[in-house]
Amino acid sequence: MMKIKGLIPDWLWLSCLIFLLSIGTYHRNALWNSELELWKDCVRKSPQKERTHHNLGYAYYELGRLDDAQEMFEEALRLNPRHALSMYDLGLVFYRKGLIDQAINYYTDAIQLDSRFPDSYYNLGIAYYQKGRFREAARAYEALLGSKPDYENAYNNLGLTYKKLGQKEKAIQCFYEELRYHPKNSYAHLHLGDVYIDIKEYSRALIHFKKALDYPHLPDAQRIQKVVSFIEMAP
């Protein structure tokens, strides 16, 4: 199942992207090239089944062949207009192409077809956030958490959204909720450190930044360490 990664502050986007793209590229491409040939053969043998077209589209998506993926997902929907997963995956394709408004439309349609699928709400929230539509992003995350409160990073994303809305106390509550369900989520500690800096509660910020630094691959750890050192040296 495909899912876009959770929201992170602006200063983390570039370092996260570089890190994620560098992991396992060769092995992943080898795997999905094999899947590609498998599902091409399935489409040839069963051209009227939406599932085969969808799975071929999935393989194309994983290889970064977005136009081919889009074509297969659209064909799956032509064969079955109520295939919610293809609708959702088209949202992912358009999001990855940078066409956020189209992605929002497809996520919304996927929810209308199957409101039980949590990833649609999660990625709808991310798309709204990227468009600066923070109230709508908050509503998407709230809907998700109403039925699945343990969905990883959803409380983090809702907290970042509340922070954008200037509701910092609500943001803090969300980050603590993330830690209640996922005690090892270092990003929740990082977000708490940032928001406590914003409201000048430096001792609390220090606690959470130190916990965030326990994560071995924390992006921009050098900056966080400098902040920690600065707080510790302050009178």
pLDDT digits (tens, 9 = 90+) for 8-40: 554 444 344 444 444 444 444 555 568 888 878
CATH hierarchy code of domain 154-235: 1.25.40.10
Q: Break the chain into its structural domains and give their ranges.
A: 1-131, 154-235
Nearest alpha-carbon partner for 134 in 121, 143, 125, 146: 125
Distance CA 189, CA 185 (A): 7
CA distances from 159 to 99, 137, 147, 170, 224 (A): 25, 11, 18, 7, 20
pLDDT of amino acid 44: 87
Number of H helices, E strands in the chain: 13, 0
Distance CA 66, CA 64 (A): 5
Distance CA 81, CA 63 (A): 25
Is the fold of 1-131 the same as that of 154-235?
yes
pTM: 0.83
pLDDT of amino acid 141: 98
Q: Hey, what are 175's tokens? A: 């980050």
> What CATH superfamily classification does 1-131 receive?
Tetratricopeptide repeat domain (1.25.40.10)
The segments of the chain whose pLDDT lies below 70 read 1-33
